[in-house]
Chains A and B, each alone.
Chain A
């Protein structure tokens, strides 16, 4: 075993140019795999983040239009009790209204949430850039876009009204920026009780937003959760059902990414196999001598398996460096006008390890044929012919 290993290393060292060439071939294959894989994952992640990043993955509403969910606190607790899969269940009550400041009026969504207890879905807290969270029923947060349009700042007093209905004054406790224009320009955030009073919901809420651990299981979780709660008056909507088109697009992308990776893999395997097949011919004299000296067929084939293994390892290490380097370069140079990365590529160690592992495995598989040839070589062929 050790002998086979050291002969393999010596063979690889004596043919440095060839060794580097094969390793480079593997490395390029691995780096392409890593780059494309991470890029597409990053792309999909950012698309999904934009779609569901600040919205619940499952939303519970009353089945009947215009009705609210009574006793939301207890229901939220019951949903939490479903299991580890539920990260957060947050009641919210909202409705459409108009906001006026000085002499301008704009349509808004007035949304009340229990900000102190749980803010894991919208994460409004981290978006506040001026002022603070509302901590009384007459305080609200205004989004950046609307604030700029109306020339608002924290401390101002605004009026919120429903045509021919309630009308009330609120103090702006702070301004937020969630980097999502549709929210920034129309969402007014207040306390849960503020909106319940404003819209006359009593103690009811309009929805309970749920954040789950595995977003891609949201549809199944929604179905299971619905039967777990067992309340016929409630509807459970998941983000996947609502975004079917986006998801089928992403799916197609994943498949083409896998196809690219498979073809890269096949070409790497064929490349290694053909070069190693040539090396076994080049080294047939040496194999013959070693066999005449009493090396077993098993060890003579191990010599080539080890060569495959080392080439695979070398190629994989180089490939990972190259692939990660490509990703870093892409993130550094491909930027939006505002300086943020075009696509945020996150380093997925599992995926990188998988790509490297597959390359090593492929190299070993590719060396099976030369290993077999080496095992079958009869020393007399070499000895007789000089």
Chain B
């Protein structure tokens, strides 16, 4: 299978005066169409790694190659477009736009891409909201939704543009075990049907076990790297 992302000799150091190194010389690559989970203790550097993978953060040294393209060579505008088309984010702290409804939030990646929304895209957004069980509240402003509902809306939003890569940081952190189970089933289904590559940080070992691969981060280094 083809490689879709590669991290080369990634080091991340925070701070100028008091320097804290969070990632140590990470070399890691993921294959296209796989479902990967990242586990590790709190503060081990999982989110930092994922944000660097998603071009949101820059490593102190090292390179990120996405489909063979070195992201540090891209201009800010190119990166913005690249992010919009290639990566779907599900953040640890969900992050819907509070001024917009659930449906509008889900449509936002499409609007950013094309400037407008077609009926077909609107139908797809509604379908996605239905799949995550939010068709009843899709016209609620996101501030008027529960934490778990917001998280599910964020998942629908990440899927909207059919990005080849989805990066998720504890996407079910606010959900009960039943919902968690159904959300992972959904993500897995998307992964199988569309060949989308998933890289998911999770604390839930039952979930991690179902992934194609488990990468453990330990104190900023790769601990375990298991392929099922």
Which residues of A approach B to under 8 Å, CB–CB?
Answer: 1-3, 10-11, 13-14, 285-286, 289-298, 379-380, 383-384, 386
Residues of A within 8 A of B81 (CB): 294, 296
Residues of B within 8 A of A289 (CB): 95-97
Bound-state Cα–Cα, A197 to B47, Å:
109
Residue from A294, A298, A380 in contact with B84 in the complex, judged by beta carbons closer than 8 Å: A294
Residues of A within 8 A of B80 (CB): 291, 294-297
Bound-state Cα–Cα, A379 to B58, Å:
12
Given contacts A296-B77, A380-B56, contact A2 B112 (CB under 8 A): no
Do A295 and B112 have beta carbons less than 8 Å apart? yes
Given contacts A10-B100, A11-B99, contact A290 B77 (CB under 8 A): no
Do B109 and A293 have beta carbons less than 8 Å apart? yes
Given contacts A293-B83, A297-B76, contact A14 B99 (CB under 8 A): yes
Q: What is the minimal beta-carbon distance from B91 to any residue of chain A, in angstroms?
A: 6
Residues of B within 8 A of A1 (CB): 115
Q: What is the minimal beta-carbon distance from B186 to any residue of chain A, in angstroms?
A: 20
Do B84 and A293 have beta carbons less than 8 Å apart? yes
Residue from B47, B57, B96, B115 in contact with A3 in the complex, judged by beta carbons closer than 8 Å: B115
Given contacts A10-B99, A14-B98, contact A293 B51 (CB under 8 A): no
Which residues of B approach A to under 8 Å, CB–CB?
Answer: 47, 51, 54, 56-57, 76-77, 80-85, 89, 91-93, 95-100, 108-109, 111-113, 115-116, 157
Residues of A within 8 A of B57 (CB): 380, 384
Residues of B within 8 A of A286 (CB): 97-99
Residues of B within 8 A of A2 (CB): 115-116
Bound-state Cα–Cα, A4 to B113, Å:
13
Chain B residue at smallest Cβ distance from A385: B93
Do A294 and B116 have beta carbons less than 8 Å apart? no
Residues of B within 8 A of A298 (CB): 77
Q: What is the minimal beta-carbon distance from A12 to any residue of chain B, in angstroms?
A: 10
Residue from A14, A294, A386 in contact with B93 in the complex, judged by beta carbons closer than 8 Å: A386
Residues of B within 8 A of A296 (CB): 76-77, 80-81
- The interface residues of chain A, by DSSP majority, are classed as helix
* Residue of B82, B96, B100 with most partner-chain A CB within 10 A: B100
Q: What is the minimal beta-carbon distance from A386 to any residue of chain B, in angstroms?
A: 4
Do A294 and B83 have beta carbons less than 8 Å apart? yes
Do A294 and B76 have beta carbons less than 8 Å apart? no
Residues of A within 8 A of B82 (CB): 294
Do A293 and B108 have beta carbons less than 8 Å apart? yes
Residues of A within 8 A of B47 (CB): 384
Do A297 and B51 have beta carbons less than 8 Å apart? no
Bound-state Cα–Cα, A295 to B115, Å:
11
Residues of A within 8 A of B96 (CB): 289
> Which 10 pairs, one residue from A and one from B, show the smallest C-beta to C-beta distance?
A294-B84, A14-B99, A386-B93, A294-B83, A380-B57, A296-B80, A10-B99, A380-B56, A289-B95, A294-B80
Chain B residue at smallest Cβ distance from A375: B76
Residues of A within 8 A of B93 (CB): 386
Given contacts A290-B112, A293-B89, A293-B112, contact A384 B51 (CB under 8 A): yes
Given contacts A286-B97, A286-B98, A294-B84, contact A386 B56 (CB under 8 A): no
Instruction: Enumerate 10 A-B pairs (CB-CB under 8 Å) in ascending A order.
Output: A14-B99, A289-B96, A292-B54, A292-B91, A296-B77, A380-B56, A383-B51, A383-B91, A383-B95, A384-B47
Additional pairs, 12, CB under 8 Å, beyond known A292-B83, A298-B77 = A14-B99, A289-B95, A290-B108, A291-B80, A292-B89, A293-B83, A294-B84, A296-B77, A296-B80, A379-B56, A380-B56, A384-B57
Residue from A11, A14, A294, A386 in contact with B112 in the complex, judged by beta carbons closer than 8 Å: A294
Residues of B within 8 A of A13 (CB): 99
Residue from B56, B77, B157 in contact with A383 in the complex, judged by beta carbons closer than 8 Å: B56
